[in-house]
Amino acid sequence: MTAETLVLATSAVLLALGASGVLMRRNPVSMLMSIELMLNAGNLVLVLAARARGAVDGQAAALIVLVLAAAEAVIGLGIALALFRTRENVDVDGPAEIHG
């Protein structure tokens, strides 16, 4: 098994775990962590493609994705924290309860 195959397999497993976490969990924090797993799987593939091509553009794109994922996590956790303060049971299946 080559290193590229191992990285692709790891990325596929991370993507599958993240997708199953988003589909199965109803807690917003758990869903955010699952989305982060999927973004990291995409970053692995970007870095692998950049390494295979011998260019650095994939690594730069992965760095941009990391920055955007951090911003998404901060905003999402802030919204989740605001919901946890006002409600005792936070479920993402009840969007009708969230009004602006």
Q: How far apart are CA 23 and CA 2, in angstroms?
A: 32
Q: What domains can be seen in the chain, in order of their start residue? A: 3-88 (1.10.287.3510)
Residues 6+ apart with CB under 8 A from 47: 58, 59, 62
- Going by pLDDT thresholds of 50, 70 and 90, the confidence category of residue 5 is very high
Q: Are 46 and 56 in contact (CB under 8 A)?
A: no
pLDDT of residue 99: 60
- What is the distance in angstroms between the CA of the first residue and the CA of the last residue of the chain? 53
Q: Are 28 and 76 in contact (CB under 8 A)?
A: yes
pLDDT tens, residue by residue, 20-37: 999 998 888 888 899 999
pLDDT tens, residue by residue, 45-79: 999 999 888 888 888 888 999 999 899 889 988 88
pLDDT tens, residue by residue, 72-92: 889 988 888 887 787 777 676
